[in-house]
Amino acid sequence: MVLRAFALSILLFLSALPESAVANERAFKAFIKEIKQEAEKDGIARKHLEALDRLTPDPEVQRLAARQPEYVKPIWAYLTHMVTEERLRLGRRELQTREAFLSGLEEKYGVPRGILIAIWGVETNYGGNKGSFSVLRSLATLGYDGKRADFGRQQLLYALRILQSGDVALADFKGSWAGAMGHTQFIPTTYADYAADGTGDGKKNIWTEPRDALASSAYYLKRMGWQKGLAWGFEVSVPSNFNFAEARIKNTKSPAYWRDKGVTALGRDISDDLGNVSIFAPAGLRGPVFMLTKNFRVLLRYNTAPAYALAVGHLSQRFFGAAPFERDWPQADRPLLPQEIAELQRRLRKSGYDTGDVDGVLGRQTIAAVRDYQKDRGLAADGFATPGLLELLAR
State residue 6's pLDDT score: 43
Q: What is the average pLDDT across 283-292? A: 95
Amino acid at 48: H
Please, are residues 171 and 127 in contact by the beta-carbon 8 Å criterion? no
Amino acid at 187: I
Question: Bigger pLDDT: 4 or 187?
Answer: 187
Please, are residues 265 and 291 in contact by the beta-carbon 8 Å criterion? yes
State residue 68's pLDDT score: 64
Contacts of 160 (CB under 8 A, 6+ apart): 39, 42, 44, 48, 49, 136
DSSP H helix total and E strand total for the chain? 18, 6
175-230 pLDDT tens trace: 999 999 999 999 999 999 999 999 999 999 999 999 999 999 999 999 999 999 99
**Phi, psi (deg, nearest 5) at residue 319:** -55, -35
Q: What is the average pLDDT across 258-279? A: 96
Q: CA 191, CA 182: separation in Å to the nearest integer?
A: 10
Q: CA 306, CA 325: separation in Å to the nearest integer?
A: 16
**Phi, psi (deg, nearest 5) at residue 134:** -65, 125
Query: If DSSP states are collapsed to H, E and C, what string results for 103-145?
Result: HHHHHHHCCCHHHHHHHHHHHHCCCCCCCCEEHHHHHHHHHHC
Counting residues of the chain whose pLDDT is more than 90, the rounded percentage is 85
Chain centroid to CA 9: 48
Please, are residues 101 and 198 in contact by the beta-carbon 8 Å criterion? yes
Widest CA span in the chain: 92
Domain ranges of the chain: 23-67+130-205, 338-394
User: What DSSP line would sit under 330-353, residue for residue?
Assistant: -TTSPPPPHHHHHHHHHHHHHTT-
For the domain spanning 23-67+130-205, the CATH number is: 1.10.8.350
Q: CA 78, CA 182: separation in Å to the nearest integer?
A: 22
Give the DSSP H or E segment for 388: helix 387-394
106-153 pLDDT tens trace: 999 999 999 999 999 999 999 999 999 999 999 999 999 878 999 999
